[in-house]
Amino acid sequence: MARIDLIVRRAKLDGRDVDVFVSRGRIVEVAPSAKTLEPGDATVEEAFGLMLLPSMTDAHVHLREPGFEYKEDIESGLRAAAWGGFANIMCMANTRPVNDEGSVTELMLEKARRAWPKGPRLFPIGALTKGLGGEELAPMAELAQAGCVAFSNDGVPVRSTELFRRAMEYASDWDRVVIDHCEDPYLGVGAGVNEGAVSSRLGLPAQPDVAEALQVARDILLAEYLGLPIHLAHISCRKSVELIRFAKGRGVRVTAETAPHYLILTEEYLEAEATEYDTNAKVNPPLRTPDDQQALFDGLADGTIDILATDHAPHAAHEKETEFDVAPCGITGLDTALSVTWGLVAAGRLSRQTFLRAWTTGPCAIFGLPVNTFTPGDPADFFLFDPDEAWTVGPDTLHSKGKNTPLCGAVLKGRVKTHFIQGKKIV
Amino acid sequence: MKWLHKDLLDVSQLSRAEVMAIFETAGRFQELQQRPVKKVPTLKGRSVILFFAEPSTRTKTSFDVAGKRLSADTFSLAKSSSSLTKGETLKDTALTLQAMAPDAIVLRHWCSGAARFLARRVECSVINAGDGRHAHPTQALLDSFTLHQEWGELAGKTILILGDIAHSRVARSNVLLLNMLGARVRLCAPRTLLPPQVRSWPATVYSDLSEAVRGVDAVMCLRLQLERQQDGLLPDLREYARTYGLGPRHVELARPEVKILHPGPMNRGVEISSGLADCADSLILDQVASGVVVRMALLFLYMTRKGE
């Protein structure tokens, strides 16, 4: 038997008291808690009955470095990930310069290694087109060799269906999945509020749900025609969920994500007196209706929506403290995702099984990333979690540089106490 | 009535009793307009900043006249002469204005929600003189005041709002206020100029003007922004004028002595025929006169509110 170098004692795993044995960064055994233990040379971490959860994977974050380090840099983004329960994060390409060359990918990876040598692990997503311009394919072979795990034009959807088709084909040569930001290029682009009764009353330019669903339909049809996989980012509405469910029924290789903010907020938030026009809730796609929200819960429950992703989009305070029309879209999410979604599990709106699939096995299966299911041989990526610890969301409690969240001031329950990646304590 | 509100962001903040108090106060100021010296010292020593980040002639002048007739010092600031053109944020402009310690700021801004944004950041009263497509409470109050002067009571009257509802802050505030005062509201516009889910509004929606105007007591025409054609919302102005422009043949379908209103500035021959704009039942210039006294009432109530 391999030499045990870490033992986590008396942790609560799925209701059972367990001891976890780790050797050289991998799980060796998860056993019922022993009354006495001979640790030998191993480090012992006493869990005192804290909950043990596998580290999560976030397939959709914006780390802003290079180019916008004042919003977030790789060090601060990984810090938020570490405290947020994430072992793996995938970062989008809309940096400056855009991640459309191997050297940019390598820079990101080098910065991550220097800042957080033990993890969390960073997995860059390369641009689908040069400069995200939607005119020429990005050098995906070079990007894949440099370490990009997927390709996306997130933030600036590709207008040309022909080019998008070619991008899907070319990416498939390198065994990489294309992630699409589904937004019709003409219907209410980047409006930040759902088109409907609320936008009408507030008098804001708005985006209808069909702007998303039209592109979802296009992508599904292309994926079926080409026989290639497609991953649909930040799904927000019922129409999209129904199209994806239909496509999966036909065997189309489509996967999809939604973000925690769509599960806890609706467009009505923007109309409440205390939060009217709150730019912290301006996101793209926008917050939708309660009916859309219910469809997302149903989609998660039946697997139509495969995974959760934060779409972590940090912005500086001064950028959000402005008129609604002018403010950039995005919510900071790495710090709050776990508490928010575990809260949904506690409230009975998400099953524990769905939570684990959506944050761990699901994204790792889609993008080929390491995952811990507490099976011998799995990477020892896990954290100890106090589900009852209450904390107030605010500038002092968020590790990300981005403080732009409508949850600011809210009291959430659940905190990461200790986080191990490959058996090494990172926080 | 003790006035407790700090800001006027939209008519939805007001109760019916408060609206009546505004009308009553405005009615008292009407008498002042007839005097040779149209000025009282009520707000002497108080200062009002008129911050118009979007072009305006009548609203700005109306507030200016209203303030001066109450002896307040009014200071005008336009976008072109403000630091907004140098890239200053609305937050910094707000803090700068706040530091000058005005008693009220009257704000016109092209973004919906801008007045709310400002009101949260300054201690003085903020009066919304139009924010984006969201609200124009003083226009709605002066419109209703004009009709109130004419009829005494709006309850039971049917009023048609005609034109570009989708982009109109005037329409939004008027729908709320007219309903509060017991009027029945009709809306008429091509589908492209109606807001999404407009049928959830407390109004009956029409696309046929002849049908919409039948039996109404008043028609409020809205200004058509000529660039809507470029936005792809209209085929051309000629077709709009033929289909949705208010003309004499429509007035015949309405009640006798139907009142015609328009917030101005008008595109004569587009949304309204020139003859109707100038006819005996047109209240368009009455609206301008009402605007001054309603805004005097508002400045008076907000600047002498409890705690002042």
CA distance A184 to A119: 37
Say if residues A312 and A191 touch (Cβ distance below 8 Å).
Answer: no
Domain with CATH 3.40.50.1370 in chain B: 7-136+290-304, 137-287
Residue of B118, B191, B197 best to disrupt the A interface, most CBs of A under 10 A: B197
B150 pLDDT higher than 80 = yes
Nearest-neighbour CA in chain A from B32: distance (Å): 37
Per-residue pLDDT at A60: 98
A335 pLDDT higher than 60 = yes
What's the average model confidence in pLDDT over A228-253?
A: 98
**Token representation of residue B140:** 């709605």
Nearest-neighbour CA in chain B from A244: distance (Å): 26
Q: Which of residues 19-78 of B touch A (CB under 8 A)?
A: none
Half-sphere CA count of B266, side-chain side, radius 13 A: 23
The tens digit of pLDDT for each residue in A32-85 reads: 998 888 888 999 999 999 999 999 999 999 999 999 999 999 999 999 999 999
A229 pLDDT higher than 90 = yes
Nearest-neighbour CA in chain B from A399: distance (Å): 26
Which residues face A255 on adjacent strands? Answer: A231
Q: What is the pTM of this model?
A: 0.94
Per-residue pLDDT at A1: 63
Residue of A187, A201, A209 best to disrupt the B interface, most CBs of B under 10 A: A201
Contact assignment for A325 to B172 by CB distance below 8 Å: no
A-chain residue closest to B168, CA distance: A203
Task: For tokens 């997995």, name the residue.
Answer: A123
Per-residue pLDDT at B308: 45
Reduced to 3 states (helix: H, G, I; strand: E, B; else coil), residue A143 is helix
Q: Which of residues 119-158 of B touch A (CB under 8 A)?
A: 131-135
Which CATH code fits B137-287?
3.40.50.1370
Say if residues A58 and A337 touch (Cβ distance below 8 Å).
Answer: yes
CB-CB neighbors (< 8 A) of B112 in chain A = 202-204, 277, 324-325
CB-CB neighbors (< 8 A) of B89 in chain A = 318, 321-322
CB-CB neighbors (< 8 A) of A199 in chain B = 195-196
The tens digit of pLDDT for each residue in A375-415 reads: 999 999 999 999 999 999 999 999 999 999 999 999 999 99
Task: Give the containing element (helix H, strand E) for B105.
Answer: strand B104-109
Confidence of residue A188 (pLDDT cuts 50, 70, 90): confident
Strand ranges inside chain B, DSSP E: 47-52, 73-78, 104-109, 125-131, 158-162, 184-188, 204-206, 218-221, 259-261
**Token representation of residue A317:** 């305070």
- Distance between the two ends of chain B, CA-based, in angstroms? 15
What are the angstrom distances between the C-alpha of A306 and each of A123, A285, A366? Answer: 19, 18, 9
The tens digit of pLDDT for each residue in A111-153 reads: 999 999 999 999 999 999 999 999 999 999 999 999 999 999 9
What's the average model confidence in pLDDT over B143-157?
A: 97
Please identify every residue of A annotated as catalytic.
Answer: 311
Per-residue pLDDT at B77: 84
Per-residue pLDDT at B142: 98
Residue A32 CB coordination number (10 Å): 9
What's the average model confidence in pLDDT over A186-214?
A: 94
Per-residue pLDDT at B82: 65
DSSP state of A90: E
B294 pLDDT higher than 70 = yes
Binding residue per annotation — A154?
yes
B89 Cβ under 8 Å from any chain A Cβ: yes
Contact assignment for B89 to A199 by CB distance below 8 Å: no
The widest CA-to-CA distance across chain B, in whole angstroms, is 56
CA distance B226 to B240: 11
Torsion angles phi and psi, residue A232, rounded to 5: -100, 120
Contact assignment for A277 to B112 by CB distance below 8 Å: yes
Nearest-neighbour CA in chain A from B230: distance (Å): 15
What's the average model confidence in pLDDT over A182-208?
A: 93
CB-CB neighbors (< 8 A) of A275 in chain B = none
Per-residue pLDDT at B83: 67
Contact assignment for A318 to B91 by CB distance below 8 Å: yes
* A14: region left, alpha or beta (phi > 0 left; psi from -120 to 50 alpha): left
Domains of chain A listed by start with CATH number: 54-367 (3.20.20.140)
Look at chain B and count its residues.
Answer: 308
Size of interface A-B (CB pairs under 8 A): 61
ipTM: 0.89
Say if residues B217 and B157 touch (Cβ distance below 8 Å).
Answer: yes
Superfamily for the B7-136+290-304 domain:
Aspartate/ornithine carbamoyltransferase (3.40.50.1370)
Mean pLDDT of chain B: 94
Say if residues B126 and B9 touch (Cβ distance below 8 Å).
Answer: yes
